[in-house]
Amino acid sequence: MKKRIGFVGTRFSGLDGVSLEAAKWSRVLEEMGHEIFWFGGELDKEEAKSYLCPEAHFQSLDIDDINGSISNTYQRSPHTTEKIHEMKKVIKKHLYAFLDRFDPELIIAENCISIPMNIPLGMALTEMIAETALPVIGHHHDFFWERNRYLHNAAGDFLAMAFPPDLPSVKHVVINSIAQKELAARKGISSLVIPNVLDFSKEMPLNGGGREAFRKDFGFGEDDIIFLQPTRIVARKGIEHAVELVRRLKDPRIKLVITHSSSDEGLDYYNRIIDFAKNQGIDIYFINNKLHDPNQYRQGWERIYTIWDVYPYADFITYPSSFEGFGNAFLEAIYFKKPILVNRYSIFIADIEPKGFRTVSMDGFISDEVVNHVRKVMEETEYREMMADVNFRLGKAHFSFDILRRDLKSILASFFGVNGV
């Protein structure tokens, strides 16, 4: 039976992980016959099905002021407390207006009651859930206890209340087994693990212009070897390891390409990487300004490229992150059948590596063994293709849309009964 489903979050726009996963969920739900609506502080969705609430964005001025007032201290002023409650009331009115306009039968809270980037939004949504008893799926990508920047703050009472809330009508979904255990241990809340997924049933998309056009548009020579770092420029992505790897391979044809910007976490690490690469004698190619959201093409380019158009022309993927909630870039690499370097972060060790994926693995640093393994992968075509084929098969078995469809159907049945979905 068709349901009206509302997604609520700080933003649904661009290439951040939450926006991408929400888009995958919405696509699967639409394929199941449900109708989707959107509430957020930044939206690139169909206007007729969207409710834009600027106060819900984590970068709005008021929210930015609140975050600055409660960070790195255990004491907050009465003024900050009042401001949090005032903003909560404003956002709560918008949430009720969203309910009135679209009448959703189910809410999917995308990370906004998981990590406190916008505390008033999390509080407002929690109160609305308690007042309406609406069925809610809390889709949790990160929790505040997983980020150092939230460990010293003056909002512990609000975090206990709403991040996440323990309410009867909320079913909690996490993206890895470690988060599942931590949520149970810290808050006594049970949850279902639904990993990030990709549509492995579809053929890999290629840009129509082909390899020659791509290299011309981005300024690469035909003999260049493209090492792709498909992440934001933030410290936990470990980009300095990719720089060191390129230096130690000693092949001037290798070009290190970074796809994303530093986003919302400042320029300190970006500047650090610039200086480190310069000292190592390595050029980095930042192509974020040449990539486009497929829903918001910019004018002036003969050919339009998105992140999905870059993967087919990469020769090797670097993914030396020290921490990931799951690892979209890993899934994307195996989807495009590309060899990949992985720093064995905790979630990879717990939930991905045991499946049998073939990667170049590092344990916190670039060793001679890692360098030699990368050389082997690049030089031996048969070995490289074997790795890619095994990884694609395992990705399809464990991280496909079929897995997501099965789990969402089960959750909806728990809310509405088998005949209700």
Q: 252 and 149 in one domain?
A: no
Partners of residue 171 on adjacent β-strands:
137
Q: 233 and 171 in one domain?
A: no
pLDDT at residue number 40: 97
Residue 343 lies in a domain: yes
Residue 203 lies in a domain: no
Strands 106-110 and 50-52: unpaired
Residue 235 lies in a domain: yes
Q: 286 and 405 in one domain?
A: no
Cβ 231 vs Cβ 287: under 8 Å: no
Q: Regarding predicted confidence, which is higher, 338 or 204?
A: 338
- Cα 421 to Cα 411: distance, rounded to the nearest angstrom: 10
- Cα 41 to Cα 58: distance, rounded to the nearest angstrom: 8
Q: 136 and 47 in one domain?
A: yes
pLDDT at residue number 300: 47
Q: 388 and 250 in one domain?
A: yes
Question: pTM value?
Answer: 0.88
Average pLDDT over residues 150-176: 96
Average pLDDT over residues 166-172: 98
Residue 340 lies in a domain: yes
The number of folded domains in the chain is 2
- Cα 112 to Cα 92: distance, rounded to the nearest angstrom: 13
Give the range of the structural domain holding residue 244, as residue numbers without chain letter: 210-398
Q: Regarding predicted confidence, which is higher, 162 or 418?
A: 162
Q: 100 and 88 in one domain?
A: yes
Average pLDDT over residues 142-161: 93
Average pLDDT over residues 4-9: 98
- Cα 78 to Cα 80: distance, rounded to the nearest angstrom: 5
pLDDT at residue number 297: 46
Average pLDDT over residues 188-195: 97
Tens digit of pLDDT for each residue in 240-295?
999 999 999 999 999 999 988 876 667 889 999 999 999 999 989 988 877 765 54
Query: At what angle are helices 328-335 and 17-31 packed, to 10 degrees?
Result: 60
Q: Regarding predicted confidence, which is higher, 13 or 188?
A: 188
Q: Annotate 373-392 with b (16+ C-beta within 10 A) or e (fewer).
A: bbeebbeeeeebeebbeebb
Percent of the chain with pLDDT over 90: 77
In whole angstroms, how large is the CA radius of gyration of the chain?
A: 22
pLDDT at residue number 262: 73
Q: 295 and 156 in one domain?
A: no
- Cα 274 to Cα 300: distance, rounded to the nearest angstrom: 28
200 — phi, psi (to 5°)? -70, -5
Residue 327 lies in a domain: yes
pLDDT at residue number 130: 98
Q: 316 and 280 in one domain?
A: yes
Percent of the chain with pLDDT over 70: 93
pLDDT-derived band at 301 (thresholds 50, 70, 90) equals very low
Spatial CB neighbours of 171, under 8 Å, sequence gap ≥ 6: 135, 136, 137, 138, 192, 411, 414, 415
pLDDT at residue number 205: 55
Q: 291 and 309 in one domain?
A: yes
Q: 161 and 92 in one domain?
A: yes
pLDDT at residue number 314: 92
pLDDT-derived band at 309 (thresholds 50, 70, 90) equals confident
CA geometry: angle 409, 411, 417, nearest 5 deg: 80
> In this structure, what token pair is assigned to residue 196?
């990030």
Tens digit of pLDDT for each residue in 75-113?
999 999 999 999 999 999 999 999 999 999 999 999 999
pLDDT at residue number 261: 80
Q: Which of 179-183, 254-258, 311-315, 364-368 has the lowest average pLDDT? A: 311-315
pLDDT at residue number 264: 60
Decide if pLDDT at 354 tops 70.
Answer: yes
Residue 202 lies in a domain: no
Of the CA atoms within 13 Å of residue 252, those in its CB half-sphere come to: 1
Decide if pLDDT at 208 tops 60.
Answer: no
Residue 204 lies in a domain: no
- Cα 317 to Cα 329: distance, rounded to the nearest angstrom: 9
pLDDT at residue number 204: 66
Fill in the DSSP letter of residue 258.
E
pLDDT at residue number 148: 85
Based on the number of CB atoms within 10 Å of its own CB, is 417 exposed (0-12), middle (13-18) or buried (19 or more)?
Answer: exposed
What is residue 290's three-state secondary structure? Answer: helix
Decide if pLDDT at 299 tops 50.
Answer: no
Q: How many residues does the chain have?
A: 421
Of the CA atoms within 13 Å of residue 298, those in its CB half-sphere come to: 11
Residue 22 lies in a domain: yes
Average pLDDT over residues 125-140: 98
Q: Which of 13-17, 155-159, 288-292, 302-306 has the lowest average pLDDT? A: 302-306
Q: Which of 194-208, 308-322, 367-381, 387-401 has the lowest average pLDDT? A: 194-208
Spatial CB neighbours of 202, under 8 Å, sequence gap ≥ 6: none
CATH number of the domain where residue 181 is located: 3.40.50.2000
Q: 235 and 359 in one domain?
A: yes
Q: 382 and 312 in one domain?
A: yes
